[in-house]
Amino acid sequence: MNRRSLLVFPVIFISIIMVTTWIPSHINAESINLRYANFTPAPTFPCIQMERWKKEVEKRTGGEVAIQTFPGGTLLGAKDMMDGVLDGQADIGCLCMVYQPGHFVITNATSLPLGIPNARVGSLTLWEFYQKYKPKSFSEVKVLTMFTTAPANIMSRVPVRNLSDIKGLALGAPGGASQLLNAWGANQIDIFMSETPETLQNSVLQGLFSSLEVMKDRTYAEYFHYVTQTDAIIYPFAVVMNMDTWNSLPVNVQKVIEDLGTEQSEWTGRYLDYRVKSSIEWSQKTYQVEFTQFSQEEKAKWDVKLSTITEKWIKEATSKGYPAEAILEDIKALIRKHSL
């Protein structure tokens, strides 16, 4: 080997070191790949917000993060969502808290009949309320955002215009709504929304108790030609991340995700309120769905039936050591704040 060759090799070696040191790490590193599971079908609002969140994270991290979404229970089902995220089957999961009424005691208080008027107010109320209390039920995961449905209403095959009309009516709803429907005299059938199409085909259900965007998004107006607007309760949702996954993320990626928390909550609420309005108009025009709104006198009859539900929750939550009265006052204050 001549003297010139001996001089060239050190120059090449130093050049390699300089290039690998100075090039930004995100160019050398492969993308961070995350799996996001959802149990609802792709056209529904929990999956629409999932796709919006995915797009924003990928854009704001400059492609450093790539997210693969799994709608419709293709990775995890509704019952398995929290455990599946804890076990690492998915990095991120979207869950409905009323599907596990005994587990999320504090945050499920937002699903009591407290007068949440729409999804935007409900979502911002839930998210701010969670941030104040940080309940232990979420201590093993990173909570990315929270949001709610719009108020639930009765969609039925027969008209429900007063309390006598609802007695014995088989209405599909999550388990968390059982006390309310039973108080009105209905026969609540515990189902997940993903199971509803099969149940409808078997003609088991006489109606549903849900927010009204599904009349259009899932074409339930084809089955239910009557809607009774009770506007009684909402259903709360949470998006959670596996804690090991969260801790493995670079600080800049964590900041992007943190910054999206409140924004995503409000975006989802506003989107859903728009979808509800659109669904009502579409259902009336396409299927001539009849919408019933109560007089003040009739609504009072329905509302008084629900008073014992909140009283029972206060008693049970207090017995478990929760500051039940303070929790409800905080929720009511946040509803007023975000309704302005």
The predicted structure's pLDDT at residue 245: 98
Q: What is the pLDDT of residue 194?
A: 61
The dihedrals phi and psi of 224, each to the nearest 5 degrees, come to -115, 110
CATH number of the 153-234+282-308 domain: 3.40.190.170
**Burial class of residue 154 in the structure, from the number of CB atoms within 10 Å of its CB (0-12 exposed, 13-18 middle, 19+ buried):** buried
Strands 32-37 and 92-96 turn out to be: parallel
**Token digits of residue 146:** 């929270």
Query: pLDDT class for 293, splitting at 50, 70, 90?
Result: very high
Pairwise pLDDT comparison (46 vs 20), residue with the higher score = 46
The confidence score (pLDDT) of residue 24 equals 35
pLDDT at position 203 is 67
Percentage of the residues of the chain whose pLDDT score is greater than 90? 81
Per-residue pLDDT, 193? 64
Pick the CATH number of 25-148+235-275 from 3.40.50.300, 1.20.1250.20, 2.60.120.590, 3.40.190.170: 3.40.190.170
Q: What is the pLDDT of residues 213-263, one digit of tens each?
A: 999 999 999 999 999 999 999 999 999 999 999 999 999 999 999 999 999
Eight-state DSSP code of residue 240 = E
pLDDT bucket at 7, cuts 50 / 70 / 90? very low
Closest CA to 83 of 72, 71, 95, 69: 95
Question: Residue 97 CA to chain centroid, in angstroms?
Answer: 8
Q: Between these two residues, 226 and 204, which has the higher pLDDT value? A: 226
Kind of pairing between the strands at 187-190 and 170-173: parallel
276 Cβ neighbours under 8 A, 6+ residues apart: 118, 119, 150, 211, 212, 213
Domain boundaries, the chain: 25-148+235-275, 153-234+282-308
How much is the pLDDT for 131?
A: 97
Cβ-proximal residues to 94 (8 Å cutoff; 6+ apart), any chain: 36, 37, 38, 39, 40, 46, 50, 81, 237, 238, 239
Contacts of 158 (CB under 8 A, 6+ apart): 165, 169, 206, 207, 226
pLDDT tens for each residue of 125-184: 999 999 999 999 999 999 999 999 999 999 999 999 999 999 999 999 987 788 999 999
Tell me how far apart the alpha carbons of residues 96 and 68 are, in angstroms, rounded to a whole number.
20
Q: Assess whether the region 25-148+235-275 and the region 153-234+282-308 belong to the same CATH fold.
A: yes
Per DSSP, what are the bridge partners of residue 95? 238
Q: Which residue has the higher pLDDT, 152 or 7?
A: 152
